[in-house]
Amino acid sequence: MRLSWKRTWLINLNKWFIYTVFTLLICLCTALLGFIAYIGDTSHNNDRRVFESSVWNALQLQVQSYRFINYFSSLDSSSAVTHDDISFEYELLMSRIDLLRKGEIGELIREFDDARIIKLLNVINGELELVSFDIAKIEEGDNSYIEKLLVRMNRIEPNINELISLINKDNTEYINTKFLEHQTNLTTIEVLSGILATCLLLLCFFSMKALSELRAAFVINKRLQSGIETIHENKTNMTTHVLHEMRHPINAILAATKALRNKDEASPLTKAELPNHIEESGQQLLNTVNMFSDLSEINIQKLSLSPYLEHLRNRVETYIDTLEHQLARKNLLCSVYVDPSLPTYVSLDFNRVKAIVIGLVQNAISHTVKGSICIQIRPSSLTTPLLSGPMQEDRITRGSDTRMLQIAVKDTGLGMPSQLQNDLRTMPSLRRKEDEDILDKVGLNLSLCFKLVELMKGEIQFTSVEGEGSEFWVDIPYNLPEKQPEQPTQLKLSNTRALIIEEDQQLREVIAQQLAIFDINTSLSSECTGHNNQQYDLIILGRTDCYEGDLLEAINQWHTEATPIINYQSKVFKGIEAALTPITFPLLQSKLEETLTHLFKHKIAE
Amino acid sequence: MRFLYIPLALILSFSSALYALDTPTGRTILTVTGAIKTTNSDQGAIFDMAMLNALPRHSVATHNLWTEGLNTYEGFAAADLLKLLGNKGNVLQVTALNDYMTEIPVSDFIEQGAIFATHQNGKRMSVRNLGPMMVIYPFDSNENVRSDIYYSRSIWQIKHIKSIITTE
């Protein structure tokens, strides 16, 4: 969330930065173009041209005045001059004065040196106008005026020289000013061009970055699109699974309800069982709904763990007890063993533990036709929980009060095909939330288990032999309370020897483990014969292939020896029922403790 | 047979019109020398104002640097003058009364619309008014000629034109 906020902030910053650079770029371009247009204005060139023309015409005035003087100096008193020749020379000279006084050159000269030049020009013009009187006299044939004319022209000469020097000085100043202006303009253009180039570089940089982000966005978009398609596909699959999982309990409820209403005599269930059946199906339905809900919440990362302190064994036994009818329907025997080395009270999210336990056992029930399902809760060989997901990832150390326990569910079922086992082992993403087709592979129960175990930072492993059965074991972390609540003293039946007759090896071993909690030494056997020379304080009679006669003989002998017999044989032994203490499955420790307390009350009293 | 003289006479009269140049009766205004075929004196082809005025007239109305306001200049086209003189040159060296000289490509008078002006606003241009002849470009209507090159070619008080052939 924080990262996302930071990214949004950066994107906004980039966006505004690009806008600023764009605006700056446009402003700079406008400024640069405007400036270039200003300095490139032809009027400036015109000014320069006028200045140059003024200097040229002033010099031409001087040259022409010398020519004018030379012309009249070459004349003597006897020279005959024509009107046209004199007028020509005079007009030539005056045309230079006119060029300096009129037009744009005249306008420029008027502003020079506080009008000093125009005043000087007027003086020269006035003097030359006076020359015209001398010319008129010369034209009339009076050559004596030639001398006067030359004197007058010599008097004008210093003025013309001053005029030239003034115009030249102003022109030099103008050139100097223009040079400085051009230098300044050049510097300004250089600075503007530099900024423009920088802006362009920045723009290129941000454009490249934007392109790169766009490309990344396209990739993300494509991935998201693919994700959406997968989600739609998963949604359809999920609906199919929901229907599949819910159809059975709903049908069961409907059938039971119909049977109740019709009082159907042909129904295999008695009227007393029907409400239980409905309740069980309802419960199963509720469990299924909860499982789907949990699965969905895990997938959207909304499911959080809420650990709380509880009696571990009691909780687990309660969960298994709810499955009694399902087990009974398939005639499956189930026993629960909780290792006494585990703390009595532990802090766990028991709602999730319940889902895991029920999920694993229901999965076992589904895949077991006959035999038993054994649940063992024991300390884990792992010491710390996973950081997340796959087993290969690093573990974390949460503190001294965090430990691991193992929930193992072993069945004598069909086992998993080797292909499915390979798939499960070679797909590390199986436990990943993205991989939704896990439902197709292993069904709802195991899917939820995988997800929950991952959520709890635990591990799930399995072993399976096709046709012989499977074992799933889950390692999950738990926290110890600072202080364990007070507990009643554990029943101890030291020096008690028990014989367990059970053809199912895994079941008899788990029952032995259960009895070991009460300090009872056990002998295990699948046969009812061959135990005559042994002295036992307790017989647990389970499923066996013994001949009925042998079995009756053995029972009678144990009964004669007053050895208590706990029986869960389905056979009916007429006449000796009193010798047998029945026990129901699932075989829970609490139930076994109660039975043992009843059977050995005299020994406990001692 | 007598009829054969008529076309011959026409050809002769045409060729004489092509090469014949009058002798000026008034003050010589312009002398043209150089790569021309037709002359009317030892100095080359000389013209008085009447001869120049006899050439086809052209006018240009424009502002310029040297006079105030809009002025209408009237004169003759260089093409007409040079055609009359059987010109071979491609550049004209034009000299003013003060001996200032500039070179003007003949193409300027064709492509840029320049003329040799003899009259300003209907009046003959005096020497004082930059006459008797001046090269004027249409500065107002043709922005191509608003540059130093053409301003420097706008020579006034013209007295002499020399036609030359340049290789460029």
Helical pair A589-599 and A505-516, crossing angle rounded to 10 deg: 60
Residue pLDDT, tens place only, A319-338: 999 888 888 888 899 999 99
pLDDT given for residue A394 in this prediction: 42
C-alpha–C-alpha distance, residues A429 and A454, integer Å: 11
**Is residue A379 in a domain?**
yes
A86 vs B contacts (CB less than 8 Å): none
d(CA B58, CA B104): 19
Q: Which of A253-262, A515-524, B108-117 has the lowest mean pLDDT?
A: A253-262
What are phi and psi for residue A112, nearest 5 degrees? -70, 135
What value does the mean pLDDT take over residues B68-94? 93
- Compute the distance between CA of residue A499 and CA of residue A520 in angstroms, rounded to an integer: 10
Q: Do A462 and A601 reside in the same domain of the chain? A: no
Q: Give the pLDDT score at A8.
A: 66
State the alpha helices, DSSP H only, in B20-162: 49-53, 78-84, 106-111, 148-153
Confidence of residue A6 (pLDDT cuts 50, 70, 90): low
Q: Where are the beta strands (DSSP E) in A553-602?
A: 565-567, 580-582
Nearest CB partner across the interface for A104, out of B65, B128, B157: B65
CA distance B143 to B113: 12
Closest-CA residue of B relative to A88 is B127
Q: Chain B partners of A105 at a C-beta cutoff of 8 Å?
A: 65-66
pLDDT surpassing 80 at residue A15: no
Q: What is the dihedral of CA A324, A327, A333, A338, to 10 degrees?
A: -50
Is residue A131 scored above 50 in pLDDT? yes
Residue A145 has a pLDDT of 87
Task: Give the pLDDT band of residue B98 (cuts 50, 70, 90).
Answer: confident
Closest A-chain CA to B68: A103
Chain A neighbors of B124, CB-CB under 8 A? none
CA–CA separation, A449 and B91 (whole Å): 105
Of the residues A431, A447, A479, the one at which a domain ends: A479
pLDDT reported for residue A551:
83
Contacts of B135 (CB under 8 A, 6+ apart): B94, B104, B114, B115, B116, B117, B153, B154, B155, B156, B158
Output the furthest CA–CA distance in chain A (Å, rounded): 191
Residue A367 · residue A470 · CB < 8 Å:
yes
Residue A439 contacts residue A447 (beta carbons within 8 Å): yes
A528 or A357: which leads in pLDDT: A357
Structural domain ending residue among the three candidates A175, A204, A233 = A204
Q: Examine the domain organization and report whether A378 and A299 are in the same domain.
A: yes
Instruction: For residue B65, list chain A residues with Cβ-Cβ distance below 8 A.
Output: 46, 49-50, 53, 103-105
List the one residue out of B50, B70, B62, B61 whose CA is nearest residue B124: B50
Q: Which domain holds residue A299?
A: 279-479
A7 confidence band (pLDDT: 50, 70, 90): low
Max avg pLDDT among A51-65, A262-276, A523-537: A51-65
Q: Does residue A409 fall inside a structural domain?
A: yes
Q: Do A111 and A196 lie in a common domain? A: yes
**Highest averaged pLDDT of the listed ranges A50-54, A232-236, A379-383, A457-461:** A457-461
Distance of residue B67 Cα from the nearest chain A Cα, in angstroms: 5
Residues A457 and A516 in one domain: no
- Mean pLDDT, residues A405-415 taken together: 92
Could you check whether the bond before residue A379 is cis, i.e. omega within 30 degrees of 0? Answer: no
Q: Which residues of A touch B151 (CB under 8 A)?
A: 49
Q: pTM to 2 decimals?
A: 0.52
Candidates B28, B67, B71, B127, partner chain A, best to mutate (most A CBs within 10 A) = B127
According to DSSP, the residues that pair with B164 across neighbouring strands are: B91
- Identify whether the C-beta of residue A131 lies closer than 8 Å to the C-beta of residue A149: yes
Q: Which pLDDT score, from 0 to 100, does residue A238 have?
A: 78
Instruction: Identify the pLDDT of residue A267.
Output: 59
Q: Are B98 and A105 a contacting pair at CB < 8 A?
A: no
pLDDT at A103 over 70: yes
Q: Which of B29, B62, B66, B67 to mutate to test the interface with A (most CBs of A within 10 A)?
A: B66
- Cα distance from N-terminal residue to C-terminal residue, chain B: 51
CA distance B142 to chain A (A): 14
Q: Quick check: A391 pLDDT over 80?
A: no
Nearest CA in chain A to B67: A103
Contacts of B67 in chain A (CB under 8 A): 102-103
Taking contacts as CB-CB distances below 8 angstroms, the residues of chain A near B126 are 91
- pLDDT value at A9 more than 70: no
The DSSP secondary structure of A246-311, one letter per residue, reads HHHHHHHHHHHHHHHHHT-TT-SS-TTHHHHHHHHHHHHHHHHHHHHHHHHHHHTT------EEEE
Say how far apart CA A507 and CA A524 lie, in whole Å: 10
Q: Which residue has the higher pLDDT, A78 or A266?
A: A78
Residue A273: inside a domain, yes or no? no
Could you report the per-residue pLDDT of A308-322, keeping only the tens digit for each? 999 999 999 999 998
Residues A191 and A98 in one domain: yes
For residue B2, what pLDDT is reported? 47
Q: Are residues A452 and A542 in the same domain?
A: no
Measure the CA–CA gap between B159 and A183, rounded to whole angstroms.
43
**Mean pLDDT, residues A243-249 taken together:** 86
Strand intervals (E) in A459-570? 459-465, 469-479, 496-501, 520-525, 538-541, 565-567
- Pair (A195, A293) in one structural domain: no
> Which three-class secondary structure state does DSSP give residue A525?
strand
Alpha-carbon distance A217 to nearest alpha carbon in chain B (angstroms): 55
The whole-angstrom separation of Cα A104 and Cα A47 is 9
Closest CA in chain B for residue A84: B27
Instruction: Fill in the DSSP letter of residue B22.
Output: P
Reported as a pLDDT band with limits 50, 70 and 90, residue B17 is: very low
| pLDDT attached to residue A242 | 84
Task: Tell me what pLDDT residue B9 has.
Answer: 43
Q: What is the ipTM of this complex?
A: 0.71
CA distance A86 to A88: 5
What is the spatial order of strands in the sheet that A538-541 belongs to?
A: A520-525, A496-501, A538-541, A565-567, A580-582
Tell me: do A402 and A503 sit in the same domain.
no
| pLDDT for the residue numbered A292 | 85
A403's tokens: 């430990």
The verdict on residue A221 lying in a domain is no
Query: Residue A370 and residue A496: Cα distance in Å, rounded?
Result: 32
Q: What is the mean pLDDT of chain A?
A: 82
Report CA-CA distances (Å) from A108 to A102, A154, A167: 10, 27, 10
Q: Same domain for A514 and A428?
A: no
Residue B38 pLDDT class (50, 70, 90 cuts): very high
- Taking the domains of chain B in order of start, what are their residue ranges? 23-164
Residues of B in contact with A64 (CB under 8 A): 98
Mutation target for B interface from A48, A68, A91: give the one with most B CBs within 10 A.
A91
The domain tally of chain A equals 3
Structure tokens at A198: 């920088």
Q: Which of A44, A95, A104 to mutate to test the interface with B (most CBs of B within 10 A)?
A: A95
CB crowding A508-531: b at 16 or more within 10 Å, else e: bbbbbbbbebbebbbeebbebeeb
Position A46 confidence tier, pLDDT thresholds 50, 70, 90:
low
Summarize the confidence of residues A351-358 as an average pLDDT: 90
Among residues A204, A233, A251, the one where a domain terminates is A204
d(CA B31, CA A232): 102
Of A42, A60, A103, the CB nearest to B67: A103
Tokens of A25: 């770029």
Helix A116-139 to helix A83-101 angle (10° resolution) is 170
Judged by average pLDDT, the poorest of A430-439, B26-35, B39-48 is: A430-439
Give the tens place of pLDDT for each residue, A421-436.
Answer: 877 775 544 444 444 5
How would you class A69 by CB atoms within 10 Å of its CB: exposed for 0-12, middle for 13-18, buried for 19 or more? middle
Residue A1 has pLDDT above 50, yes or no: no
Q: Quick check: A103 and B66 CB within 8 A?
A: yes
Q: Are residues A468 and A524 in the same domain?
A: no
**Residue A291, beta-bridge partner list:** none
Domain containing residue A122: CATH number: 1.20.120
* CATH code: domain of residue A594: 3.40.50.2300
pLDDT at A521 over 50: yes
Same domain, A416 and A501: no
Contact B65 A105 (CB under 8 A): yes
Nearest CA in chain A to B64: A103
Give per-residue pLDDT as tens, A167-226.
888 888 878 887 888 888 888 888 888 888 888 888 888 888 889 989 999 999 999 999
**Which pLDDT score, from 0 to 100, does residue A229 have?**
93
CA distance A51 to chain B (A): 11
Rg (CA), chain B: 17
Residues of A in contact with B68 (CB under 8 A): 102-103, 106
Instruction: Check residue A456 and report its DSSP letter.
Output: T
The segment with the largest mean pLDDT, out of A9-18, A81-90, A266-275, A356-365, is A356-365
A92 and B98 in contact by Cβ < 8 A? yes
pLDDT value of residue B5: 46
The confidence score (pLDDT) of residue A556 equals 85
The contact set of B with A (CB < 8 A) is 27, 64-68, 97-98, 100, 126-130, 146, 148, 151, 157
Q: A324 and A473, same structural domain?
A: yes
- Candidates 3.30.1360.170, 3.90.1150.10, 3.90.420.10, 3.40.1710.10; CATH matching B23-164: 3.90.420.10
